[in-house]
Chains A and B, each alone.
With several copies, the nearest count.
Chain A
């Protein structure tokens, strides 16, 4: 709830989102929130819980049920001096927004030589693993990663969610902000409501290691850290990097790690082919070939749709799959 924003109790990732929204709405009158059910209902995941009561319905707009509308209104408002934070209710409902994001949001500044800009954020609960119905479990970040002019951000902890969302709202350009819904409530941490934004083009080294670099983002950070723990028991020291800001990509942090470890496994839940992991592997092939002592591996979703929930966990990368890939990499010297 917005009112609890400044208390010093540990909060979940989703609460950190709410806290950041409330902070920035207090801080900047140009900021407003819009989406389906974001008002009185506080969002289907409660990300906007309390905001309507605190800031009023004119700053927390329930929209008609149409994602094209949400995207178009958002671009329209952003290009006229407001800072809208739009919500797509689920990842699978984002596709009708692609046109406005690609043709207008990502190009407004470019097209008008800076005369008009598009400082907006599109928040999207992202990814699988919550036993939800169809189209509620998609890891579709790569729809946007080849689009210049956008930023694609995907935090994986309450603190990073808070700091990166603030940064996204303040950024002068459109940011696609994907939220790993599977870990919305995974754990709590202290996130001071100090309005401190995090940088938008930095990868986070979550764990130091010397034998192999594990690169991941989103909910998979959980499995990857667990895999690193398991590997440690086998004497394998894994460095874990949360990419967090996919595009523009902070490759130097990854390169530096691989220069040290010589090995890299990339973990993501989107399908493998042309998933964003490909870009990281490609950069490694281009820039770090002489550092690598083992082939790069990607542990990803299979090249099929994430199944309905009876099978979905078999689709997603798991600790076992990560450990197996690392062991294959460690077999190279």
Chain B
């Protein structure tokens, strides 16, 4: 038999679900102290997530996509990027975005029905949340192409889900990244479900990582609940990107512990057992154990930090709740850099109508 090509996909895991190392930790992350701030960040993210869900349940937020269970993957990705890199999220990677300077109030504004949530005060070039699945991956490929053409030492990182890895835009992203050898890292966050559709129904591929083979990319599958594995995978991929070795597809194996969004009811389509089992593998548990074993963390510290997180998140929530609705003209003011006359006339009419309505209401 003549062989035309051969491939092998590596799997990375360092911390087992019980917090014990299952392999020698990579050099860069061998000192547990480097992990501590990220663990704290994961706790902060979970606090934010919990409070956001509560906010939605009390009618103070629109539909919200929780990130429960994804904290290690999200925070690890964010931690692996440089400020000048560009991040292209889907819609639940708050952990990564906070690391890049997106403010929680911006997240809330977006899910609260206000476009200003996308006007990040921190990472000015990062992409906004992206509702059309996986289109962010291809835009990120375009961003990476622009870096390469301008010889900028920058990497584009995009996230999508297991469902998103079926989307043609995801394939277009990896195809183009391969064709142009781009500094692109495609992070496939496999949380087992795309709303109600299980991973197995998305594709006949054994791993989602292997999709990268289709474009000649570097492929890795990692335990996405293991922060160390996430960091190591991202380290390798961003290094390759910076060295001109091209793009990567990384599959992060994690689990969506919450409903798809607050508009969803996962009990319709998935069993309790599966969720229960997933809770034993969730990312906080093992990292807390590992840091506790390393004498870097204890219950008291956790309690204090969670209180601090609550306080910090509440500041953001209040800032969100206090943000006034945009004036009616906001729907006209960001459409064109050079707005056409007809639009300006509509704008004026809308303002007049709004004023009249207000006056009517006020008697």
List A residues at the B interface (Cβ < 8 Å): 32, 36-37, 39-42, 44, 58-59, 62-66, 68-69, 72-82, 92-93, 95-96, 99-100, 103-104, 109-117, 131-136, 148-149, 171-173, 200-201, 248-249, 251, 272-273, 302-305, 307-312, 314-315, 320-321
Contact = CB atoms under 8 A, between A and B. Distances in A.
Interface in B123-174: 124-125, 127-129, 131-133, 135, 138-147, 149-150, 161, 163-164, 166-169, 172-173
A303 B342 contact: yes
Interface in B320-359: 325-326, 328, 330-332, 334-338, 340-343, 346, 350, 353-354, 357
17 contacts: A41-B269, A65-B161, A65-B163, A68-B138, A69-B138, A72-B142, A80-B147, A82-B146, A111-B115, A134-B131, A248-B336, A249-B342, A304-B331, A304-B332, A307-B330, A309-B62, A311-B331
Contact of A248 (B263, B269, B340, B354): B340
Interface of B: 62-63, 86, 110-116, 118-120, 124-125, 127-129, 131-133, 135, 138-147, 149-150, 161, 163-164, 166-169, 172-173, 175-176, 179, 194-197, 201-203, 263-264, 268-269, 325-326, 328, 330-332, 334-338, 340-343, 346, 350, 353-354, 357
Contacts of A251: 342
Contact of B196 (A37, A59, A302, A305): A37
Contact of A131 (B62, B141, B337, B357): B62
Main secondary structure of the interface of A (DSSP, over half): loop
A93 B114 CA distance: 21
A77 B176 CA distance: 13
Contacts of A62: 196-197, 201
Contacts of B179: 63-64
Given A65-B133, A73-B145, A310-B112, A112 B119 contact: yes
Given A65-B197, A133-B111, A304-B335, A72 B141 contact: yes
Nearest to B88: A76
A112 B125 CA distance: 11
B312 to A, nearest CB: 24
A41 B196 contact: yes
Contacts of B334: 109-110, 112-114
Residue from the set B125, B164, B167, B196 with the largest chain A CB neighbour count within 10 Å: B196
A113 B132 CA distance: 19
Contacts of A103: 132, 135
A64 B331 contact: no
B205 to A, nearest CB: 11
Contact of B139 (A104, A312, A314): A104
A112 B333 CA distance: 12
A201 B141 contact: no
Nearest to B129: A134
Contacts of B343: 248, 302-304
A247 B219 CA distance: 45
Contacts of B201: 62, 64
B116 A76 contact: no
Contact of A201 (B168, B331, B340): B340
